[in-house]
Structure 1
Amino acid sequence: MFVLVNLKAYAADAVGIATTAREVSEESGVRIAVAPQAARLAAVADTGVETWAQHVSPVEHGSHTGSTLAEAAAMAGADGTLINHSERRLRLADIDGALDAAERAELETIVCANNPAQVGAAAALGPDAVAVEPPELIGGDVSVSQADPDIVEDAVAAAEAVDDSVDVLCGAGISSGEDLDAAGELGAEGVLLASGVAKADDPRAALADLVEPLS
């Protein structure tokens, strides 16, 4: 299972959480990555944790003020990037362009989607993985795998029908080892989470609890 911690724009200690995530990953053997703000990519990458960008823009080098250039993210130490998160939606053509940009920069990709139908459409574009995240559950206390397991199973089926090499992850409300275990039983290859770690009083305890079923 793959665990990706999205720090969003929370007032979190990015370097501290990244260091903790690396340590918990090494201790547990579970693959854990952290996605900080673009300005913190290099600092997070310097901790040795697997580092992901929260977004890359569908652009090449040129006149694109304010864009997040995939090559710049890679140079800062990013190993992969989220694309089309529910808080950073893109048009279909721009998702395709962002995937092209990530491929140029040799970044691994996860395209986020709201529902199984969108998962199928995203899988057709050839990312490394897709993630189903119902917007109404993001930031809540109930995980998608608990609130509506059919969404996860249907997302897995939708991706497999298009391209069975595309992994499916799930997100929204993930915070515990029980959530992670349930996601795996439903066919997900990993999870996305944010507030469960980024806003936790004790990020180490939160991560340790999350990966405990896999240790």
Structure 2
Amino acid sequence: MFVLVNLKTYPCDAVSVAQAAADVAADTDARIAVAPQAADLRPVAETGVETWAQHVSPHDHGSHTGSTLAATVADAGATGTLLNHSEHRLKLADVDGGLRAAEDTGLETIVCANNPRQIAAAATLGPDMVAVEPPELIGSGTPVSRADPDIVREAVAAADEVNPPVPVLCGAGISTGDDVEAAADLGAEGVLLASGVAKADDPESVLRDLVSSV
């Protein structure tokens, strides 16, 4: 079970959260990664935690003001990147371009999608993983595995139909170890979460609970 913590632009101490994640991963052998803002990639990676970018652009070096290059992200210590998060939607061509840019620099990839139909489209592009996240449940504290478990089951089936090797992650509302266990029971091979850790008074305690059933 893969646990990816997206720090978004929450006003948390990214390095402290990363250190907590690194400690929990070392103690439990769980796979935990942290996705900070681009400016925090290097100090987060220096904690030793698995580090992911929140986004990379479908560009190479050149006249692309405001873009986040995959090569720069990799140089900062990231080993993977999210693409097409519901808060940073992309056109299909840009998702594909971002995947190619990531692959060229050796970054792992997760393409996010809202529903099983979009999961199928994302899986055909050949990412390393896909994540189903109904946007109305993001940050709600109500996990999709409880609010609408069929979305997770159908997303797993949709990915399996078009590209069986691509694992499905479950996002939106994940905050406890019970949520992680429920996601696994529905066929998900990982979870994507944010506020449950980034806004927690004690991120390490939350992380230990999250992986307690792994």
TM over 0.5: yes
Structure 2 residue aligned with 1:6: 6
**SS at the partner of 1:82?**
strand
What is the aligned-residue RMSD (CA, Å)? Answer: 0.4
**SS at the partner of 1:4?**
strand
Letter of the aligned partner of 1:206 in structure 2? V
Letter of the aligned partner of 2:193 in structure 1? L
Tell me the distance in 1 between the aligned counterparts of 2:50 and 2:27: 15
Structure 2 residue aligned with 1:158: 158
After superposition, where does 1:36-185 map in structure 2 within 5 Å?
Answer: 36-185=36-185
Structure 2 residue aligned with 1:18: 18
Letter of the aligned partner of 1:155 in structure 2? A
Is 2:163 aligned against 1:194? no
Tell me the distance in 2 between the aligned counterparts of 1:29 and 1:148: 30
**SS at the partner of 1:141?**
coil
Letter of the aligned partner of 1:170 in structure 2? C
**SS at the partner of 1:213?**
coil
Q: CA deviation at 1:29?
A: 1.2
Letter of the aligned partner of 2:199 in structure 1? K
Tell me the distance in 1 between the aligned counterparts of 2:146 and 2:30: 22
Tell me the distance in 1 between the aligned counterparts of 2:66 and 2:50: 25
Letter of the aligned partner of 1:123 in structure 2? A
Q: Deviations over 1:82-105 (max 9, x none)?
A: 000000000001000000110111
Q: CA deviation at 1:141?
A: 1.3
Structure 2 residue aligned with 1:30: 30
Tell me the distance in 2 between the aligned counterparts of 1:55 and 1:95: 10
Letter of the aligned partner of 1:47 in structure 2? T
**SS at the partner of 1:123?**
helix
Letter of the aligned partner of 1:27 in structure 2? D
Q: CA deviation at 1:124?
A: 0.3
**SS at the partner of 2:110?**
strand
**SS at the partner of 1:51?**
strand
TM-score calculated relative to the size of structure 2 = 0.99
TM-score calculated relative to the size of structure 1 = 0.99
Letter of the aligned partner of 1:54 in structure 2? Q
Tell me the distance in 2 between the aligned counterparts of 1:86 and 1:141: 17
Q: CA deviation at 1:48?
A: 0.2
Q: CA deviation at 1:59?
A: 0.6
How many residues align? The count is: 214
Is 2:208 aligned against 1:208? yes
**SS at the partner of 2:212?**
helix
Q: CA deviation at 1:75?
A: 0.2
Tell me the distance in 2 between the aligned counterparts of 1:204 and 1:122: 32
**SS at the partner of 2:188?**
coil
Q: Deviations over 1:60-110 (max 9, x none)?
A: 111101100000000000000000000000000100000011011110000
Q: Which runs of 5 or more residues in structure 2 are unaligned?
A: none
